[in-house]
Amino acid sequence: MGIADDFTRLGLSYCHHRDILLRSQDEISVHQLRLSVKKMRALFDLMESIAPERFSTSAHLGEIRQVFRYSSALRDLQVQKGIFHDIGKLKQKKYTSLISFLDQLEKQQFTQLRKKLRKTGDQVFTMLSDYIAVTFDSRYDEAEIRQIFKWRATGLLRDAAGIFDTGYEAKALHEIRRKVKQAYFLMKFRAIKNIRTKDMQLGSAALHRLEERLGSWNDTEVSLDYFKTFRKGSGREVKESAIYRDLHRELKERNTHLYLASLFLVSKTLFRK
Percent of the chain having pLDDT more than 90?
Answer: 61
On the question of pLDDT at 36 being above 90, the answer is: yes
**pLDDT for the residue numbered 193:** 60
Q: What is the mean pLDDT of residues 149-172?
A: 89
- What's the N-to-C CA distance of the chain in angstroms? 33
On the question of pLDDT at 197 being above 50, the answer is: no
Q: What is the mean pLDDT of residues 52-61?
A: 90
- List all residues 6 or more positions away from 236 whose beta carbon is below 8 Å from its beta carbon: none
Taking only the tens place, the pLDDT of each residue in 135-157 is: 999 998 888 888 888 889 889 99
C-alpha–C-alpha distance, residues 167 and 173, integer Å: 9
Separation in Å, CA 57 to CA 38, 49, 141, 188, 226: 11, 10, 23, 20, 30
Band (1; pLDDT cuts 50, 70, 90) = low
- List all residues 6 or more positions away from 51 whose beta carbon is below 8 Å from its beta carbon: 135, 136
Band (190; pLDDT cuts 50, 70, 90) = confident
On the question of pLDDT at 76 being above 70, the answer is: yes
Q: What is the mean pLDDT of residues 22-37?
A: 94
Which of 197, 212, 208 is closest to 262 using CA atoms? 212
Which of 220, 201, 219, 193 is closest to 270 using CA atoms? 201
Report field, pTM of the whole predicted structure over 0.85: yes
- List all residues 6 or more positions away from 41 whose beta carbon is below 8 Å from its beta carbon: 57, 61, 65, 68
**pLDDT for the residue numbered 234:** 81
Other Cβ atoms less than 10 A from the Cβ of 144: the count is 10
Contact 202, 269 (CB under 8 A): yes
Contact 1, 190 (CB under 8 A): yes
Contact 271, 161 (CB under 8 A): yes
